[in-house]
Amino acid sequence: MTHKPGEEVTYTVTYLEMEEKPSFPYPPMPTGGPTVLLAADEPPVRYFLNMYDAVGAEYGWTDQHEKPLLEVKDFLHDPSITMFTLMRNGWPAGFFILDATVVGECNLAYFGLVPEAVGLGLGKYLLHTAILMGWELPDVTKMTVNTNSLDHPRALPLYQKAGFAPVRREEHKRVLTRDRTQ
């Protein structure tokens, strides 16, 4: 079934937690071209929104565009927030944000690959690296992440395979801004 822009759809948000640091080691850097993971120091809002759109446009990521730019900037420049970009062959292949604003928790606030990087073996590397980096933050006793039924169909199984466990689900409605096949 194809849904059109302007249609309201119901989707399920799944909240997941990990209460112990996983036993897997840091993965080796992927092969297939020069690859580097870079931390962004107070990234410009436009840079974040470009990555947000590149990764999430196909999956209905629109929430950040509904916020005032100053609010997005304040989020990105909070010292408890860190954005990382995976560069592959000179172009951004994906990104993640670690949010440690809640004492004792690290939320994997955003995570994903651009469409051109899906299937290149980068997802597991990026996720495992994000998880281990999150656990290295001071006083972290739990990691959290959420995904929804509009996200990539492999997102939920990938999080679960990495050690996150669902703790609750919620139904939500959203008006689509692009064509969507379910």
| Residue pLDDT, tens place only, 129-166 | 999 999 999 999 999 999 999 999 999 999 999 999 99
Residue range 16-25, pLDDT digits in tens: 999 999 999 9
Question: Which CATH homologous superfamily contains domain 2-181?
Answer: Gcn5-related N-acetyltransferase (GNAT) (3.40.630.30)
d(CA 6, CA 178): 8
Q: Model pTM?
A: 0.93
Q: Is the pLDDT of residue 3 over 90?
A: no
Q: Which of 99, 166, 168, 87 is nearest to 130 (CA)?
A: 99
Q: Which residues pair with 14 in a beta bridge?
A: 147, 169
